[in-house]
Amino acid sequence: MESFSPLTAALGGILIGLASAVLWLGNGRIAGISGIFGQLLPPAQTVVWRLVFLVALVAATALTALAFPQIGVGGVEPAQLAAPPAAWSVPTPIWLIAAGLLTGFGTKIGNGCTSGHGVCGLARLSFRSLVAVAVFFSVAILTVTLTGIV
């Protein structure tokens, strides 16, 4: 995190909030990525807006990375995948698959993800989202403490 900049963090937060507000006001939907993605397979009746939102999310990230490489993670150097702790001797692909599955399972039992609860739920003053965000942060702090990965 040696390249942290409050300006880029604030800009990112504003853009996330703006995207969430546009989706809520324009479509009446909460911008919870796990819910949006989770309803693609099997296709729901509302698959078009979900695809448009996800494609725009990825495209905007890619365009920003190309246009402004200096604001990415680590400055001008390309971002690296999070490798497992060396002492654990777990291959990186297995580490990433396990992390993805645990994240998906967590969003399913938590009835939402960090974007849905943390951005949209807290903005709506949802008590359930407040509890979920407290759990997210607690587990994140514990994970960083145990693994040493920031």
DSSP 48-60: HHHHHHHHHHHHH
Interacting residues of 35 by C-beta distance below 8 A, sequence separation 6+? 112, 113, 116
Higher pLDDT, 108 or 79: 108
Q: Residue 131 has what pLDDT? A: 93
CB neighbourhood size of 120 (10 A): 21
d(CA 17, CA 15): 5
pTM: 0.68
Tell me the mean pLDDT in the region 27-35. Answer: 85
Tell me the CA distances in angstroms from 55 to 50, 95, 118, 139, 148, one per residue in order. 9, 26, 22, 30, 33
Residue for token pair 């990433």: 96
Tell me the mean pLDDT in the region 109-113. Answer: 83
Tell me the mean pLDDT in the region 45-69. Answer: 85
